[in-house]
Chain A
Amino acid sequence: MASKVLMKGNEAIAEAAIVAGCRHYFGYPITPQTEVAAYMAKKMPKIGGCFLQAESEIAAINMVYGVSSTGHRVMTSSSSPGISLKGEGLSYLAGADLPALVVNVQRGGPGLGGIQPSQSDYFQATKGAAHGDFHMLVLAPASVQEMADLTVKGFDLADKYRMTAMILADGTMGQMMEPVSLEYDIAPPPEKPWATTGTNMQREHNIVNSLYLAPEALERENFKRYERYKYIEENEAMYEEYMTDDAEIFVVAFGIAARVAKNAINDARNRGIKAGLIRPITLWPFPKAPFVKAESQAKAVISVELSMGQMIEDVKLALDCKVPVTLCNRSGGMIPSPEQVLKAIVDADNGGAK
């Protein structure tokens, strides 16, 4: 059996990134993700890597742009308000087709908000990180082990599709400690013939750029990019199903909310209610396949979120609005209790919430 260590979710992300070959980290401290930077600060100098505390989040994301242009694996991490600051850079990375790993350990918002866990950056991550037509790959871990696994996966996907992969975690995932195994077979990153590595006078020089002043050219780039997105939607969606085979009440939840929901589903099953869970692991692309079953079987669907209801819109779309969907939520740094989710399941089983 692989040997395990006890890690915080934030540390697991940092160590997994190092294992995946990332030697460049740029960031700026913010609770509740600071341990990512703290871990990198300790470890990178010992392995010949670069840790740099930037003067701001905006500086950090542009350093990511620079290193990614040279073909190296690179990352940054922050929490909600800091991710908003990185928005411009995320759009530029997309426009220049540069791979990067960006971590958002979410806290309550809007504004400066609070420091407690939240999932209220779902819209931002999956739909509107910044200006322009673009997507990021969005991965939502639900354990410290997955914080590590999805970090490794995120680097692979980012390189494969020349996109930003975002780890969308929350304060609980970042701070909680669990045993984790960090032994991976790391595939070498793909060739990056587009990278600006110096021509040695042997080839045409490469240009990394997101400026296309001719609208025809810019449209062509966007069409090409969206063909790639379509392929990703068809091939890269990840999800977990729990007790859905005979389920009549489907709970949909990701990250920490999915862990709470599992407890509530176990309680509901003990009461004879056929409840099951769909846990999206990729939030973009949003997994549509498990909702085919839900559409034919479900009496009701419940979206459990640490937000005012954001993923629920994708849940309704995935169901073509054919099954009633209700929201079970807390916000502002609060977490739904298993009892609250159980009550939502019982209400749904009784023919709808009051």
Chain B
Amino acid sequence: MNHKRITLLCGHYGSGKTNIAVNLALMLSRTNDNVAIADLDIVNPYFRTKDSAEELKAAGVRLIVSEYASTNLDIPALPAEMYSLTDDKSMTAVIDVGGDDRGALALGRIVPAIIEENNYEMLLVVNKFRPLTKDAASAVEVMKEIETASGIKFTGIVNNSNLGEETTAADVLGSLSYAEEISDITGLTVAFTSVKNSLYGELKGKIDNLFPLTLQRKIK
């Protein structure tokens, strides 16, 4: 995968943005020195990039996150450090944007600088097993709402279709046509398909640009 300096991950809430962002940052840290992950989720205080702080720190990934994240303070605050994402041009950045159009609103402050530099990818994370993005039309609707709120256009799609722990290879293979349909409607290419680690071996070679995810955490 050929990466731009900034990768923005947006989508419907619960589509798997945070998980993909963490995995992507860890992968980039293997080939880049100055990697940062920014958690700009002002919507949901429950699942945060900060939950993976130890793994990220061990890999040398800088974590840019509101000091209130993962505390019990339910405050929609953005970190002041977020300006380094656009100021420090030597940085490779992954930005985890909050869910839906409301979450994407937080991007507005740095969008002009991102567009001016023009070295970014903005990826729409989709999951066909989420009821509100279950078909291509509803996924495209969410996409347009995010573009309107953030003032920036998508450049690609991440197919993260999954049923959690119960996901089978057949579920993922069955979702490819869904991602293709979104691609046809929007003209955006499918940047990659993400799958949980345990399915990677089975699906490798069957899907272009397959990206394995080490799941962040699970609740029994």
A286-B47 Cα distance, complex, nearest whole Å: 33
Contact call B45/A15, Cβ cutoff below 8 A: no
Q: Write out, one digit per residue, whether chain B residues 120-144 have a CB within 8 A of any chain A CB (1) or not (0).
A: 0000000101111010000000000
The residues in A between 263 and 290 inclusive whose CB is less than 8 angstroms from any CB of B are 263
Nearest CB of A to B98, in Å: 12
Q: Given that A116-B72, A171-B46, A178-B164 are known contacts, is A4 also in contact with B129, CB under 8 Å in the complex?
A: yes
A87 at the interface (CB under 8 A from B): no
Q: Is A4 a contact partner of B166 (Cβ separation < 8 A)?
A: yes
Partner of A114, one of B14, B72, B129: B72
The yes or no answer to A312 lying at the interface (CB within 8 A) is no
Q: Is B111 an interface residue (CB 8 A)?
A: no
Measured in the bound complex, the distance between the Cα atoms of B130 and A42 in whole Å is: 14
State whether A8 and B14 are in contact (beta carbons under 8 Å apart), knowing that A32-B46, A178-B164 are contacts in the complex. Answer: yes
Q: Chain A interface residue count: which class? A: 20 to 34
Question: Counting CB contacts under 8 A, is A115 at the interface?
Answer: yes
The residues of B that contact A172 with a CB separation of less than 8 Å are 219
Alpha-carbon distance A333/B130, docked complex (angstroms): 28
B7 located at the interface, meaning its Cβ lies under 8 Å from any Cβ of chain A in the complex: no
Q: Would A177 and B74 be within 8 Å (CB), given that A6-B130, A115-B45 are in contact?
A: no
Cα A176 to Cα B14 with chains together (Å): 10
B residues near A4, Cβ cutoff 8 Å = 129, 163, 166
Tell me if B220 counts as interface (CB < 8 A to partner A). yes
B74 adjacent to A176 (CB under 8 Å): no
Give min CB distance, A132 to chain B, whole Å: 33
Contact present for A11 and B131 (CB under 8 Å): yes
Secondary structure at chain B's binding surface: helix, strand, loop or mixed?
A: loop
- Whether B127 pairs with A6 at a CB distance below 8 angstroms is yes
A176 touches B219 (CB 8 A): yes
Interface 1/0s, chain A 145-177, versus B by CB < 8 A?
Answer: 000000000000000000000000001100111
When the two chains form the complex, which single residue of A31, A115, A179 contacts B163, counting CB atoms closer than 8 Å?
Answer: A179
Q: Tell whether B66 is near chain A: CB-to-CB under 8 Å.
A: no
- Contact: B219 with A7, CB < 8 Å? no
Give per-residue flags for B23-65: 1 if the beta carbon is below 8 A from chain A beta carbons, else 0.
0000000000000000000001111000000000000000000
| A273, B33: Cα distance in complex, Å | 52
> Are B74 and A31 within 8 A (Cβ)?
yes
Q: Are B164 and A15 in contact (CB under 8 A)?
A: no
- On chain B, the residues within 8 Å of A239 by CB distance are none
Write out the residue numbers on chain A whose beta carbons fall within 8 Å of the beta carbon of B164: 6, 177-179
**Per-residue A-contact encoding for B202-220, CB less than 8 Å = 1, 0 else:** 0000000000000000011
Q: Mark A3-20, 1 if CB is under 8 A from B, else 0.
A: 011111001000100000
Evaluate contact between B45 and A5: CB separation under 8 angstroms. Answer: no
Query: For residue B141, which residue of chain A has the nearest CB?
Result: A42
Partner of B47, one of A5, A6, A108, A175: A175
Q: Kindly identify, within residues 1 to 34 of chain B, every residue whose CB is under 8 Å from any CB belonging to chain A.
A: 13-14
How many angstroms between the C-alpha atoms of A114 and B130 in the bound complex?
28
Query: Which residue of B has the minimal Cβ distance to A333?
Result: B72
B131 touches A175 (CB 8 A): no
- Can you name 12 A-B residue pairings with CB atoms under 8 Å? A4-B166, A5-B129, A5-B130, A6-B14, A6-B164, A7-B131, A38-B13, A39-B132, A115-B46, A175-B44, A178-B165, A338-B220
A-contacting residues of B (Cβ < 8 Å)?
Answer: 13-14, 44-47, 72, 74, 127, 129-132, 134, 162-166, 219-220
* Known contacts A6-B129, A6-B130, A263-B220; 20 further A-B pairs (Cβ under 8 A): A4-B129, A4-B163, A4-B166, A5-B129, A5-B130, A7-B131, A11-B14, A11-B131, A32-B46, A35-B13, A39-B132, A42-B132, A108-B72, A115-B46, A115-B74, A175-B44, A177-B164, A178-B165, A179-B163, A179-B165
4 smallest beta-carbon distances between A and B, as pairs: A114-B72, A6-B129, A179-B163, A175-B46
